Chains A and B, each alone.
Chain A
Amino acid sequence: MSFATGLYNSFFRRNSVFVGSVFAGAFFFGVGFDMGVTSFWERWNKGKLWKDMRHKYVEDDA
């Protein structure tokens, strides 16, 4: 059984499984996409963010 046949038999054969895995995939894709974009944005703007320059303006008197 090839990879394509296994894929077809496990996900695409029943429409309920197909739609269910599409929704589950959308959930995890959304979470991962958010995390990826956030980490890229923070890397791109490194040094300009509040968490990078907070120590210059606020000294913790813990």
Chain B
Amino acid sequence: MTLVAKSSLFQQRLIHTSVVRKDAPEVPDFSKYRTNIDSNRALSYFVVGSLGVLSASVAKSSVSEFLQTMAASADVLALAKVEVDLTTIPEGKNVIIKWRGKPVFIRHRTAGEIEEARSANWKSFRDPQSDEDRVKKPEWLIMLGVCTHLGCVPIGEAGDYGGWFCPCHGSHYDISGRARKGPAPLNLEVPAYEFTEADSKLVIG
């Protein structure tokens, strides 16, 4: 019979659950000064929680104010708009203006051109989009004059479809600015715009 040394498995208990001796001679007894041990508990947590509320809102406003410094200010946004007087553009004419460094085509379409743009079978196009989706008022066609293929500026009143023609690689756009022929993958982009002052002015941006 051999004896196994059990001391190698012995582990000293570092945490114990025995009750503190309240009648230890060195420790003064404060219990008679306390009416209830838990009496300040809710107040303590309330103070901690209030500090947490304050710190969280300080942190939130620091982050959001920092992010707002990166946003464009109101004067910059106002400069990024362009106003066009529409009364000077006769029917059936193109006008090219510059907006944020890019050309914008404005076409005052005739009734025949509107009819042509709306009667086309747009569901079979490469980038299917109806003419109603591309214009807010049917007689005014507003779009960015940047070819969706490689970014040339198309020529107005040219091409096989009576709209625009890009001389770089031969993309044809129709009278609604939709890609009909050639390498262009998408229709000409329509910027955000609105009509003001009883439809006599156009604001792009």
B-contacting residues of A (Cβ < 8 Å)? Answer: 4-5, 7-8, 11-12, 18-19, 21-23, 25-27, 29-30, 33
Contact = CB atoms under 8 A, between A and B. Distances in A.
B42 A26 contact: no
B42 A29 contact: no
Nearest to A21: B49
Given A18-B49, A22-B53, A29-B53, A4 B60 contact: no
A18 B60 CA distance: 18
Nearest to B61: A30
Contacts, number: 43
A21 B56 CA distance: 11
A55 to B, nearest CB: 22
B57 A30 contact: yes
Contacts of A25: 49, 53
A12 B52 CA distance: 13
Q: Which residue, A4, A7, A18, A27, has most C-beta atoms of chain B within 10 A?
A: A4
Contacts of A27: 57, 60
Interface in B56-107: 56-57, 60-61
7 contacts: A7-B42, A12-B41, A12-B42, A18-B49, A29-B53, A29-B57, A30-B57
A5 B42 contact: yes
A30 B60 contact: yes
